[in-house]
Every structure is written in C-alpha cells, then in structure tokens.
Chain A
C-alpha cells in the first residue's frame, strides 16, 4: 500500500508568539518550528499501514526551505521519501492554492491513501485536506479517530466524532483521510532513524517543475487574504471568593443569576 502523508512545519504550540509590528504575520526570529502536531499522527498512521500491507510512505510539504526539518522528523520516524515544494511565488497563496500544489505533486505518485492532519495548529484552517481530495477527485473522511483497513486493503472503515455521536464510514481506496489525535500514539524517531534521515536527499520542486503557473496558485489567485493579526482580548481576573462551601455556593449562584443570567 502506497501512502502519501502531507506535512506542515509550524511554530511549537508550547511557545509564545510575537505578532509583527505591522500585524502581517508573526516574528520568526528565535521561534522553535516543528512538524504540525496532527501530522505526526498522520505519519504514524501511514507507517502502520506500511507495516500491515507493505509499500511506501512518502512525505510531501509545501513551504519555505526550512520545512525540510519537519520532513526530516517524518523520515526519522520511518518514512521512505520526502518531497518539498518551495517557491517564492507561493507567498500569499491561500489554502485552496496549497491544496492545488499538493494535488499536482501527489497525482503522479502512486497513492492508495493520502493522509493529512485534521488541521495545522498555526492557522487552524482544516481546509487543505478536503480541498486536496476534491482536486484529486478522491473520496474523503475528515478528523478520523479510528482507522481499520479491510484484509485486502481496498476499503477503510473509519470513525468520525460528530456532535453527540460517532459516525462509522466505509471509504473505498484510493482516498484522502485527515486524522484526529486520538487515532494513535506517534512513535519517537529512533537514533538510527535520525541518522538515516540526516543523509536522505529531499527533492525540492518549484511551481515550474510541477507545470503550475504562479498566476493560478500564487497571491494573485488568492480568494482570501490576511488583513492583520491582533493579540486576543486580555481577560482580566474578576472576583475571587475564598471562604467556606456555603459562601462559595452563594457566590456562584449569585453570579449565574445576576451576571451571566443563565438561572
């Protein structure tokens, strides 16, 4: 089974961010950049399918040259190959354009399953996975929490968390799947894996290599654009109650009744 996993490099969610003075992005100086959290789960899912059925796991990323580091994390986990699309003409591209670029990379590769994280923790869009499925004309299942492949690897049965329930879905391959964190526990890269990943050649492609025109996937084609980033509104600590349980209960009931007005 040949698996393609889409990877994005993002700021470590544990670290604070600094919004640039012009509000047009974040200051990258000193920022710790890592593989998007959900993409680790996507890579793990791909590796498990390879262990079950044989085949290859290929990682694909679109982003600046530094994204190679995130790809190396996936290679160190055990992926076979990695491809990066890097082109300055993609500055200002929207999510649909990124999905178009990914589709152009993936279409000629053997792909029984394409796996993405359910979202990336930087811009939180969750757009690329389903858009990629559309551009590849494949069925999709998003935010899956369980993945079971039938014995001959032709149909995936997946669970999706929906409001108040679990949807059980049969998805014939080839397909695009986006994954939840509860799907699996990603493995740590092994030391030999890390050594091997360091030596691995990561192919870099430009839009021209893919036969894409900057006018159709770059900033000019973007249907949405960032106006600015602002810090979130500061929440001030309100009142504090430190007394016996009766005082505490009276304070909460009073708050729910008079301020929040839900009683």
Chain B
C-alpha cells in the first residue's frame, strides 16, 4: 500500500491549532509506513502566512486553498473544496481532528467521495498492510479496533491529545502550492452569523495539556474561580463533571463525560468529583489522573495515579500558591 497522508489544517488568528500539529506528527509516521508524502491542506482566506510553520512541523507539501468564501468554516464550502482536491489526488489517507469542525466535515466529505471514515480515533497505524485505528466505544467500556477496507480514500477523524507535537525543525521546508478553487461557493446554503467567543479565563479544553476539573464537591458556581486561579498557574483548561452543569453553575461546554467532551490531557486534576461512569467515559484516557476528594472510596480515587484525601477548599488555594512559587524559582 502506497499513499500520501493529508492533514486538514485548522487555524485561528494566523496560527495552526495544536490538533493540526499533532496530526502532522502522526502523518509523518504514517507517510513513512506508506511510502508517501505528508500533504497539509490549508483552506481559508489569506492563510499563506501559516504555510512555513507547517513545513517546520513535518509537511512535505502545503496546498493552500484561498477564497473569501472560505474565511469562516462552512460544511458545504469546505466539503466542496476538499472533495475537488482529493478527487485529483488518487486515494490518500486523510487526517482531521475530532473537533467541532472535523466531526461536522469528515462524514459529509466521506459521503461525497464514498470514502471510508472512522471517527474519534485514539490511534492510527498501518498493520499488516491495512490502515487500522483504535477508538473508544460503548461509552469507553470497550476499545474497538477498526480496519479500513478497499483502495479508496480513507478518512480518520482523530481525538485531540493522542500524539505529541515534536520540536519545530526549521530545516524542514514544505513545497507550497496554491490550489485553484473552482467549486461554486455561491451554493453554500448556510450562513455563519457570528462566532461568539466565550469569555474564559483559561484555554480551551481540547488544547490543554493539563485540565483542572470540578464536580459537585465545589458546592457552588462562585468556587470555580478557585479552579480558574489554579488553572492559570498550570496553563490549564477548566472543565467539570455533569452535576455542576445540571445545577447551572457552569455552561454545558465545560462538561467532560459521556454527554459532554472526551478529553485526554497529560494530567487531569479532578477536584470534588466522585467519578460516576458517565464522567469516567470522558476522561479515563488521560495520561495521569490526580484526584482531590474528601471520600477515599470515591470511584475516581480508585483510578487516580495520585489520590489526595482532604478538603479541596483548603488544598486548592495552597496548591495554587505552591505552584506559583515553584514556577518563579525557574
């Protein structure tokens, strides 16, 4: 099997998103196994400035599809442009992030191209000549191994946080090629009215190496400020289990679990979260788990790498101070 590996680049404010750099790292390994090139596909309006960074992160070729109608993501605009480019490309492997965009686009693109598609991949590898992925299923009560069949285009939508972004290699330069946008983008039927930024003290959950998360044990919305303060010191994102969302303490986009987001940070710091199966479904893929809870028998304490029995209202502020000191040492 010989194939190129395409990576759909997501970007914001002229900077590629972390998930796209993770996918370039994955693509390098796959391209080696498949004797192909890493092709970064970069759609947008005025995005050429991003291309060189993609080369430094492992792309051999950057295809730039620029058009004013591609400035904001739309399902139909991106599907049309990517489908046109992929039809010219033989049958590559296509990687995109399991993000609001990737989950919206991947299946539609697969349907248009009659391509194989697997979403929420935790790993993607070439095994016995076949492209094979693993993914959590049944609310993470099982891990499915899925293989692509046939010769056509294969789309893998990959969970964030599964691959490490290597150091930039300034010596690795990509060949940059513009793609002629011939799709009729006047046919896009949906209109993006606006994207409202959620005012947050901290970074998005899917971009974070460290997540600080609160549960029922926080007792009220005002106490999430304590987690924000800790998160700032750790460059972390703030999330929650389901009870704080159901109680209206934090909005739904905080929720980690079966009915919220699936995350896999390097460290997950759970504060006052008992660890219902519904929550474990969203975070048990974290590399390390630290749990702070009054109850030593809470289910989350049974899976934590470090379980701290104690009063989070006493521990969290002191921990924030200690980390601040630790950081100023350096």
Q: Decide: A248 near B310, CB < 8 A? Known: A11-B138, A226-B145.
A: yes
Stretch at the interface among B58-66, B164-172, B300-308: B300-308
Task: Answer yes or no: B194 CB below 8 A from chain A CBs.
Answer: yes
Task: Answer yes or no: A182 CB below 8 A from chain B CBs.
Answer: yes
Task: Answer yes or no: B201 CB below 8 A from chain A CBs.
Answer: no
Chain A residue nearest to B311 in the complex (CB):
A245
Q: Determine which of B17, B189, B205, B206 lies in contact with A172 in the assembled complex, contact meaning CB atoms within 8 Å.
A: B189
Shortest distance from the beta carbon of B270 to any chain A beta carbon, whole Å: 12
**Contact at B141–A169, with CB atoms within 8 Å?**
no
**Contact at B314–A245, with CB atoms within 8 Å?**
yes
* Count of CB-CB pairs between chains A and B under 8 Å: 276
**Contact at A94–B116, with CB atoms within 8 Å?**
yes
Chain A residue nearest to B74 in the complex (CB):
A169
**B residues near A, CB below 8 A?**
17, 75-76, 79, 99-101, 103-108, 110-112, 114-120, 132, 135-150, 152, 154, 189-198, 200, 203-207, 209-210, 234, 245, 252-253, 258-259, 266-267, 269, 277-278, 281, 284, 287-290, 292, 296, 301-311, 314-315, 318-319, 322-323, 326-327
Q: What's the interface size class on A, roughly?
A: 35 or more
Shortest distance from the beta carbon of B64 to any chain A beta carbon, whole Å: 23
**Contact at A131–B116, with CB atoms within 8 Å?**
no
Chain B residue nearest to A131 in the complex (CB):
B111
Shortest distance from the beta carbon of B97 to any chain A beta carbon, whole Å: 9
**Contact at B142–A231, with CB atoms within 8 Å?**
yes
**Contact at B152–A238, with CB atoms within 8 Å?**
no
Docked CA distance A185–B253 (Å) = 17
Docked CA distance A76–B103 (Å) = 31
Which residues in chain A, 213-250, are within 8 Å of chain B measured between CB atoms?
222-233, 235-246, 248-250
Q: Decide: A227 near B108, CB < 8 A? Known: A170-B193, A235-B284, A241-B306.
A: no
Q: Decide: A13 near B139, CB < 8 A? Known: A238-B305, A252-B308.
A: yes
Shortest distance from the beta carbon of B253 to any chain A beta carbon, whole Å: 5
Residues of the B chain whose Cβ atoms lie less than 8 Å from the Cβ of A240: 296, 301, 306-309
Task: Answer yes or no: A145 CB below 8 A from chain B CBs.
Answer: yes
